Amino acid sequence: MTDRDGARGPLAGRRLYLCTPDRPDLARFVDRCVAGGVDIVQLRDKALEARPLLRRAALLRGVCSDLGVPFILNDRPDLALEAGADGVHVGQDDAPPSLARRILGPFAIVGLSTHAPEELDLSEVEPVDYVSAGPVVETPTKPGRPGTGVGYAALAVARAAAARRPVFVTGGVTPSTVPGLAAAGVRHFVAVRWLTEANDPEAAARELRIAIDRALAGDRHRPDQR
C-alpha cells in the first residue's frame, strides 16, 4: 500500500515520528506517546555502547510490536538486525544505506538524514524508504549543526515527490510550528524535545497530532492542492 504522499508499506499513513534517547521509563514513555498519536518510533542514543543499546532496542522493539507501530534504530544496521527492529535510520557519516539494505534485507525500513541539497541529490540513488530533512532550526539534539530553514524542507518535499518517497522533517516541530511547515508542503513530522521534555507525554503527543491532522485536513480542502 502507498499513501497519497508516497509512503509505502509500513510507513503508509504515518505522520508523527518520535525520536527518543534511552531513558529509565522508556517503555512507559513510548506507550504514552503512541497513545497520544505517535505512529513511528526511533531509538537514538549516542552514549550507549553496543550491548546496552542492543538490550534497550530489544525492549523497545517488543513494546512497539505490541502497539502496532514500526520501530527504527538509529545508526546501527547490525544491531537493528539483532534486535529485530523494523528498520534503521542512518546519517551522512554512518553506514551507507546500501550496506544497511544488504544487512536488513528488502523489506526493512531504511531512512537517511539529509541537511543540504547536495545530500538530497545523492539520496535519490540510495535504496531508502524515506529521508529526513533538517533540522529546520538549530537544536541541542544536534549540537553544532545550523538550522536549514523551512526552505530546505520545502525543497526536499518537492524533490521527493517525483520519487514517491516521504520526507520526515526535523527540528523545532511543535503545535505552533506545524501550520507553517504544512504550508511549505511538509506532511511527515519528527518530534524530539516536544515529547521527551513533556511532563505529560500522552497529552503532548495528542496536542501535536491534532495540530498535524488539522493542518493537513485544511490543506486537502484547498482547491489548488493536488
Q: Assess contact for 78 and 51: CB atoms under 8 A.
A: no
- Asked if the structure places residue 122 within a domain, the reply is yes
Q: Specify if 3 maps to a domain.
A: no
Could you tell me the residue range of the domain that residue 77 belongs to? Answer: 9-220
* Residue 225 domain-assigned (yes or no): no
In a domain, 162, yes or no: yes
List of E strands, 62-181? 71-74, 87-90, 109-114, 130-133, 167-169
**44 lies in a domain?**
yes
Q: What is the CA radius of gyration of the chain?
A: 16
**pTM for this predicted structure:** 0.92
In a domain, 1, yes or no: no
| Domain CATH code at residue 108 | 3.20.20.70
The answer to whether 63 touches 29, Cβ cutoff 8 Å, is no
Q: What is the tally of structural domains in the chain?
A: 1
226 found inside a domain:
no
The whole-number mean pLDDT for each consecutive block of 10 residues of the chain, a chain of 226 residues, reads 75 96 98 98 96 98 98 98 98 96 98 95 94 88 76 93 89 96 96 98 98 87 42
